[in-house]
């Protein structure tokens, strides 16, 4: 049964695309068939982060409208078996809920276990299209007040869209700042966002270096953010894992 997970945030640049790419890669490494979809139409970059900018010709809008079959629109990752990409159209498309349902049904029929939607920042119109088919939500925030406030707003919007299971990922965690009282601690972030925690991802330069070279950090590293993304993938699979110690 396909799980459709919408990854969103209030503020931009919180780490949605990095999470989509790396959690998708980690789920594929666990043997799952994963479709990652770029839902950030104006600012699409999931293809770049995955090193697949030349791979995809058709967008999710083509697959939703049934202009091409989903199996043709989805491009297979050149290295990671089981990972597939669906890119965004250049402009936010006008699609109906029924067309989005067609997209998720096609992904289910094609044998995908996961459809991870790399959402746009904030609350643009297309978010409700994605929320319509999402069975779960992940809100990504950094531990600063502006991101946390944005996370809270997006969380409430997802709840209104009747997404049953919404969890929080706190990204770019810097334990030293938390220890010195210079950043919100994780309990405070969870309280403010009003969501249970799916995972903590540490600040890690390798995330930036890997994105620049079109590789996922989980392909090249075992520790730091790579381990955090792997743990998140295992929690999505239903495993109970303790939070990473910093
Ligand atoms: N845990 C992290 N440590 C260091 N840099 C990160 C981390 N997560 C994301 N980044 C960097 O932050 C920037 C924004 O991340 P991105 O995933 O594109 O955010 P979004 O999709 O929410 O706009 C990118 O340059 C990315 O490499
Ligand atoms: Mg992004």
- Does 229 reside within a domain? yes
Question: Can you list the residues of the chain whose pLDDT is less than 50?
Answer: none
In short, whether 200's Cβ falls inside 6 Å of ligand 1 is no
- The full DSSP string for 157-189 is HHHHTT-SEEEEEEEEE-HHHHHTTSS--HHHH
Chain centroid offset of residue 198 CA: 12
- Does 242 reside within a domain? no
Ligand 1 centroid, distance to 207 Cα (angstroms): 7
In short, whether 11's Cβ falls inside 6 Å of ligand 1 is no
- Does 189 reside within a domain? yes
- Does 66 reside within a domain? yes
pLDDT score, position 182: 72
Give the closest residue (by CA) to ligand 1 atom 17: 15
- Does 246 reside within a domain? no
Give the closest residue (by CA) to ligand 1 atom 25: 208
Whose tokens are 């998708």? That residue is 24
Those residues with Cβ within 8 angstroms of residue 210's Cβ, 6 or more apart along the chain or in another chain: 216, 217, 219, 220, 221
Those residues with Cβ within 8 angstroms of residue 64's Cβ, 6 or more apart along the chain or in another chain: 93, 95, 99, 100, 102, 103
Which residues are 114's β-sheet partners? 3, 34
Neighbours of 36 (CB within 10 A): 31
Q: Is 228 exposed, middle or buried (0-12, 13-18, 19+ CB in 10 A)?
A: buried
CATH number at residue 45: 3.40.50.300
Euclidean distance between CA atoms 208 and 215, whole angstroms: 10
The SS3 call for residue 110 is coil
pLDDT in tens, 106-137: 999 999 999 999 999 999 999 999 999 999 99
Q: In which domain, by residue range, is 8 found?
A: 3-236
Q: How many domains does the chain have?
A: 1
In short, whether 18's Cβ falls inside 6 Å of ligand 1 is yes
- Does 64 reside within a domain? yes
Cα dihedral 187, 160, 3, 56 sign: negative
How far from each other are the two terminal CA atoms of the chain, in whole angstroms? Answer: 35
pLDDT score, position 179: 77
């Amino acid at each position: 049964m396909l799980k459709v997970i919408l990854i969103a945030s209030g503020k931009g640049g919180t780490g949605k695309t990095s999470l989509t790419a790396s959690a998708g890669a980690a789920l594929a490494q666990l043997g799952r068939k994963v479709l990652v979809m770029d839902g950030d139409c104006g600012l699409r970059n999931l293809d770049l982060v995955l090193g697949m900018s030349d791979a995809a010709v058709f967008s999710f809008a083509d697959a939703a409208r049934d202009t091409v079959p989903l199996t043709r629109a989805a491009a297979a990752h050149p290295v990671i078996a089981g990972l597939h990409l669906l890119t965004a159209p250049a402009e936010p498309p006008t699609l109906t809920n029924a067309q989005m349902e067609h997209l998720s049904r096609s992904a289910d029929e094609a044998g995908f276990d996961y459809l991870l939607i790399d959402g746009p920042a904030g609350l643009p119109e297309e978010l409700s299209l994605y929320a319509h088919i999402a069975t779960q939500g992940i809100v990504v925030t950094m531990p600063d007040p502006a991101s946390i406030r944005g996370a809270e707003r997006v969380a409430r919007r997802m709840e209104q869209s009747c997404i049953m299971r919404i969890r929080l990922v706190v990204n770019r965690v810097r334990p030293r700042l938390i220890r010195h009282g210079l950043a919100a601690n994780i309990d405070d972030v969870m309280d403010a966002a009003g969501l249970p925690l799916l995972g903590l991802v540490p600040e890690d330069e390798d995330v930036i270096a890997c994105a620049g070279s079109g590789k996922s950090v989980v392909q090249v590293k075992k520790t730091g953010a790579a381990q955090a993304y792997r743990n998140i993938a295992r929690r999505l699979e239903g495993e109970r894992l303790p939070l990473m110690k910093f």
